[in-house]
Amino acid sequence: MDHNLDQSNSEPEVHEPRIIPRPEHKISRKKVDPDALKVLYRLHRHGFKAFLVGGSVRDLEVGKKPKDFDVGTDARPQQVHKLFRNSRVIGRRFRLVQVFFRGGKIIEVSTFRKASDPDDNEVLGANNTFGSPAEDAMRRDLTINAMFYNIADFSVVDFVDGWDDLKNGRVRAVGDAETRFHRDPVRVLRAVRHAARLGFTLTPETLEAININRHALELCPTSRIRDELLRDLMGGACADWLELAHDTQVLYSLLPTLEPYYGENGSPLRSRARVFMSKVDKAIAKKRELDGSVVLALLFWPILEELAKDIDLPPGRAGRIAWANFVREKLPELASPVAFAKRMLERAHQISGVMAFVLNQEPGLRLPKKITQKGYFDTACELARFLDHNLRALAGPPGKTAQKRRRRPRRRRPRKKPEASAAPEA
């Protein structure tokens, strides 16, 4: 799904596109989702322009598997809807068509748009100012996200010099970077994410615009910030993202609570967090399904370790309970600047809280049933797999509380024999 469009009317000058013919690029239809191809071909057969748009073109060229295959066309939303019975038109300000396929798959089809008049009211249709492919490209966030794949002749169409940026490993904003990020500061996060994910370099003007506009992230809707941050953490390049987000200070615009611990260059706590994030990246590369609460707990775990040094945890069971209470208090404080989903944050401090039981367990001893029967126990075990066992002294030795207690047999009292009834008097 592509949400990287600008809504302003001050755009770079439109110029003739650069056409990269099929022999000069690596994009193969064999790598394109077959249902996306069905949409492209049907639009093309009915006389409409039909392009793959956005990040799918970028990923296919660099050899990555796209998460989404979005389609751009000059057909209007109602025209697209008539071509596909299995579709619906959604959106108020920005109408697009969702085409449904088996397995819950959705291919989104949007009509090329140009910048809307700033005097327009944001009512139904006000921002549905349809335009050309060139005008549509000029409204996107980064040049490497603004190229199109034309199903008519299998060429790549580039209006913004994104091809050169892709081949030279550059992340650059479309048009004036400062203006582009000022109008939507969330683009700051996308620029950092793509640079980390692809191993690219931020151009000087893009880096300067990030520095200027990163403070405005706190003004963005919390739901957008949460979703973008989860994409960073779960995108398969979190370790590199953590370092680049530190270098650009974007990490501390998102989570200022991390700066005292991760902010120094060479911070051992950030290095430890990077080790955890590298493990997450490897797990994602192996197609392992990870609960977001596990990744969230790993991001904050080195800080929890550090803060725990300042408290005196008693040994044994009391220490484990004290650790759980400590995590319940501290983890929400660390994560509070971002409005993480309540369930995810709750699960993160639940599984972090039981680590004092899991990591301090002696071989051959069973964990208490009240731990193993929790609904989140499997998720806690997943977290334990990512953590090393340097915390054995966290709450003292496990002691006998980890063993299954045997119930003492109840001694039954012998039943009293009923007394014989007294004989009646004569």
- Of 35, 68, 161, 227, the active-site residue reads 68
Residue 53's contacts (CB-CB under 8 Å, 6 or more residues apart) are: 2, 70, 71, 72, 110, 136, 148, 149
**CA torsion, ordered 114, 115, 121, 122, to nearest 10 deg:** 70
How confident is the model over 219-250, as pLDDT tens digits? 999 889 999 999 999 999 999 999 999 999 99
How confident is the model over 270-291, as pLDDT tens digits? 999 999 999 999 999 999 999 9
- Whether residue 65 has pLDDT greater than 50: yes
- Of 6, 59, 70, 158, the active-site residue reads 70
Query: Which stretch, 79-83, 129-133, 351-355, 422-426, has highest mean pLDDT?
Result: 79-83
User: Which two tokens mark 100?
Assistant: 């449904």
**How far is the C-alpha of 297 from the C-alpha of 331, rounded, in Å?**
8
**How far is the C-alpha of 384 from the C-alpha of 362, rounded, in Å?**
14
Q: How many residues does the chain have?
A: 426
- The DSSP annotation for 307-360 comes to HHTTS-PPSHHHHHHHHHHHHHHHHHHHHTTS---HHHHHHHHHHHHTHHHHTT
- Whether residue 118 has pLDDT greater than 60: no
70-73: strand order across its sheet: 18-20, 155-158, 148-150, 50-53, 70-73, 106-111, 96-100, 87-90
Region of 126 on the Ramachandran plot (φ > 0 left; ψ -120 to 50 alpha; else beta): alpha
Is there a catalytic annotation at residue 184?
no
Is there a catalytic annotation at residue 68?
yes
**CA torsion, ordered 334, 338, 344, 350, to nearest 10 deg:** 10
Instruction: Tokens 């069971």: give the residue.
Output: 317
Is there a catalytic annotation at residue 176?
no
**CA torsion, ordered 161, 167, 170, 176, to nearest 10 deg:** 0
Residue 55 parent element (H or E): helix 55-62
Q: Please give the residue that has the higher pLDDT: either 236 or 314.
A: 236
- Looking at residue 318, its pLDDT comes to 86
**How far is the C-alpha of 386 from the C-alpha of 276, rounded, in Å?**
7
Q: Please give the residue that has the higher pLDDT: either 399 or 202.
A: 202
Per the CB < 8 A criterion, the answer to whether 136 and 72 are in contact is yes
- Whether residue 360 has pLDDT greater than 80: no
- Of 59, 74, 136, 141, the active-site residue reads 141
